[in-house]
Chains A and B, each alone.
Chain A
Amino acid sequence: MTSLETFLAAKGIYFLTFLLLFLGLYGMITCGNYMKKLICMNIMQVAVIFIFLCLAQKDGGTIPVLFSNLRNAEDYINPLPHALMLTAIVVSMGTTGVGLALLTRIKEKYGSIEEDEIIERENK
C-alpha cells in the first residue's frame, strides 16, 4: 500500500463524516424552506454520531459481548461511544419531534413554511 492509501484507510472515514457535517451546516444556512432546514439539521446530527462510532473502532476487535475464548480487553471494541450515541440518537429524535410539531403550527398559522413568506407575514 502506498502511504496515501494507508492514510486514507486510517483517517479517510473522518473526512467523510466531516463532509457530512458541513453538508448539513451548509444546507441549514442556504435552504429557504424550514422543512429542508430541519432535514439538514438531522444530517448534521448523524454526522456527529458517526464520528463517535468511528472512535470506538479498532483493528482486530469484535463486538463487546463476552466470548469464552477471548479474555483480553484488546479483543473487544470500546462499547462506551455506542452507549453514548444511543442517548444522542434519542435526543436527536426528541429534537426532530419538537421541530416537526412547531412546523405544523407554523403551517397552520402562516399557511407556509417558506422563510421569505413567513418574514413577510410577520412584518405585516
Chain B
Amino acid sequence: MMRNLPALIIIFPLVSALLSVFLSKISLYLGRNLVITSIFISLALSIVQLREVIINGPISYKFGNYAVPYGIEFKIDTINAIMLVMICIIGLLTGLFSTNFEENSKDRIKIGGSHALIALLCVGMLGMTSTGDVFNLYVFLEVTSLSGYVLIALGGSKGVVSAFRYLLIGTVAATFYLLGVAMLYSVTGTLNMQDMHDILSSRANDDTMLIAMCMFIAAFGIKMALFPFHGWQPSAYTHAQTGARPLIAGVMGKIPAYAMFRYLYCVYGTEFKYFRYFLIVIGALSVMGMIYGSVRAMAQTDIRKMLAYSSVAQISYITLGFAIGTPIAIAGSFLHMFGHAFMKGGLFFASGSIRYKYGIVDMNDFGYIYKKMPLTSALLSISALSMIGIPPTVGFFSKWYLALGAAGEREYIYIAILVISSLLNAIYFFKMIEKIFMAKDRDLKPIGRDSVMELPWTMMIPIVISILMILGLGLFNVKIINILLMSLGGIGI
C-alpha cells in the first residue's frame, strides 16, 4: 500500500470517473458520491505521501518494475508532492461545490457525467504533476485538455463556442509539444526526464535543443495562457460550467507552468548554452502579461471576465519567478501557484455562490451583498486583498519572495513591474470591494431554495476552507518555502 502511493493517488479518481456514469444509472447520486469519496481518498494519500517525501526524500515509482530509462517512472519530490495536495484539495472542494448546480436536473447522465469529468480533470493534472516521462506527460496533458474542453462546453451556448476555439488552439499546443518531444527524442533516444537531462548535458546538441525549447514554450504558453498566447482563455473561463470553474480557473493553468519549470530546470538545466536568453524571453513575456492582464481586467464589469483577465496577469507572476531563476524566486512562484489556486478558486467559489443565490454576475448589482451573504463577501474581500498583496495573506508573501529573488539578481525592472502590476490589481479589486460594501441596494430576490444558512453546506465548506487556506498559507509561508527549497537545492540551480 505505502509503496504504491504515487500510482494509487491517480488510480482512485480514474476508476471512479470510469464507474461514475454507469453507477448513476443505478442510483441518481451514487456515481457523484463515489467521485467525491475517491478524490477525498486521494487527498488523504497525497498528504501521507507529502509527509513521506519530507522525511525520507524523493520517491521514484517504476510502473511494472521496468528499469528506469525503459519503463515509465513517477518521480515525487517535495515540489510536486505539495502540488498534488493542492490539486486534490481544490478538486474535492469543486466536487462538493458543483453538486449544487445540478439539483433541478434529474438527468442521470448529466449528473454522473459532469462529476466523472471533474475526476478525469484531476487525474490528468495529478498525472502531469507526478510523471517523470516526457511522453506520459503528453498523454496526461491530453486527458486534462479533453475533460477541460467538455467542462467548458457544459456552460451553455457561448461555452460551446469557446470550448471549440480552445480545442483548436489547445490541439496546436499539444502538437507543438509532441514536435518538441520528437526533436529531443531524435538526439537522445530516451523519454525519461532524468536520463534525457544526463544525455543532453554530456553531449549537447544546442541547435536542436533551442528549437525544441521554442516549441515547449509555445505549447505550455498556450496551455497556461501566458500573455501572447492567452486568446482562448478569457471567454473559456467566463463561460465554463459554473460548478467546475474554480478547478478550471484555479488549477488547470498552473500545471503547464509546472511542466515548463520541469523542462527549463530539470530536463535542460542551467548548463544549456542559450539558457540565459530563454529566461530573458520568458521574463519579457511575463512583464507584458502582468501589465496587459491587469489593464484589460480594469475595463470589465462582468466579475467572471474580470477574474479571467486577472488570471492572465497572475500566471505571469509565476513565470516571472522562473525567469529570475534563483531558488528563492522559484520557491516564491510555487508559493504564488498554491496561493493563487485558492485565491482564484475562492473568488470563483464566491461569484458562483452569488450567482447560485441571486442569479447575477454583473458587479454593479453587488450592492449590500455583504449583509445578505456575509461569509461569501468575507471570502471575496480576503481573496481580493491577497491578490493585491496585503499581509498577512499569501499574496503578499509570494510577491515578497519574488521581489527578494529579483533584488538578489539585480533585476530591478522586474521589481518595478511587480509593484506597478500590484497597484493595477488594487484598482480593479478595490472597485469590486467598493461595489460589495458601498453600492446601492438592488433589492435582489433569491432564486434558489430558501435555507437556514446563507448557502447550502456543500457551498459553505469550500468558502470556509478557501479563507482558511489563504490566511494559513500566508502565516506559515516560511515552512512551505523551506519544504520547497529542500528539492530546489537538489535540482542544481
Contacts and interface: CB of A to CB of B under 8 A. Distances in A.
A and B associate in one complex: yes
B204 interface: no
A87 B134 CA distance: 13
Interface stretch (B40-48, B170-178, B193-201, B221-229): B170-178
Contact of A95 (B146, B158, B163, B186): B146
Given A25-B172, A55-B182, A98 B135 contact: no
B179 interface: yes
A33 B233 CA distance: 21
A62 interface: no
A48 B160 contact: no
A4 B52 CA distance: 60
A82 interface: no
Contacts of B163: 102
Interface in B120-150: 135, 138-139, 142, 146, 149-150
A43 to B, nearest CB: 11
Contact of B153 (A45, A81, A94, A105): A105
Interface string A66-96: 0000000000000001001001100100110
Q: How large is the interface on A (under 10, 10 to 19, 20 to 34, 35 or more residues)?
A: 20 to 34
Contact of B168 (A37, A48, A106): A37
A48 B142 CA distance: 15
B182 A87 contact: no
B167 A95 contact: yes
B158 A48 contact: no
Q: How large is the interface on B (under 10, 10 to 19, 20 to 34, 35 or more residues)?
A: 20 to 34
B232 to A, nearest CB: 13
A107 B326 CA distance: 51
Nearest to A83: B135
Interface string A22-36: 000100100000100
**B158, B164, B174, B185, most chain A CB atoms within 10 A:** B164
B76 to A, nearest CB: 23
B146 A109 contact: no
B157 interface: yes
A95 B182 contact: no
A115 to B, nearest CB: 9
Given A48-B175, A52-B182, A102-B167, A91 B160 contact: no
Contact of B161 (A38, A41, A48, A122): A122
A60 to B, nearest CB: 18
Contacts of B135: 84, 87
Contacts of A94: 142, 146
Interface string B283-315: 000000000000000000000000000000000
A113 B80 CA distance: 42
A98 B146 contact: yes
A51 B178 CA distance: 10
A12 interface: no
Main secondary structure of the interface of A (DSSP, over half): helix
B182 A106 contact: no
A110 to B, nearest CB: 7
Nearest to A49: B178
Contacts of B174: 91, 95
B158 A122 contact: yes
Contact of B171 (A41, A84, A102, A110): A41
Contacts of A28: 168, 172
A82 to B, nearest CB: 13
Interface in B191-231: none
B171 A106 contact: no
B107 to A, nearest CB: 16
Contacts of B179: 21, 48, 51
Given A98-B146, A122-B158, A34 B182 contact: no
B157 A88 contact: no
29 contacts: A21-B175, A28-B172, A38-B168, A41-B168, A41-B171, A41-B172, A44-B171, A48-B178, A51-B182, A55-B185, A81-B185, A84-B135, A87-B139, A88-B138, A91-B139, A91-B142, A95-B142, A95-B146, A98-B146, A99-B164, A99-B167, A102-B160, A102-B163, A105-B153, A106-B160, A106-B161, A106-B164, A109-B160, A122-B158
Given A52-B182, A91-B138, A122-B161, 17 more contacts: A28-B168, A41-B168, A48-B175, A48-B179, A81-B185, A87-B139, A91-B139, A91-B142, A91-B174, A94-B142, A94-B146, A98-B149, A106-B164, A109-B157, A109-B160, A110-B157, A118-B161
Listed from nearest, the 8 A-B pairs whose CB atoms lie closest are A109-B157, A102-B164, A91-B142, A105-B160, A48-B178, A55-B186, A51-B182, A48-B175
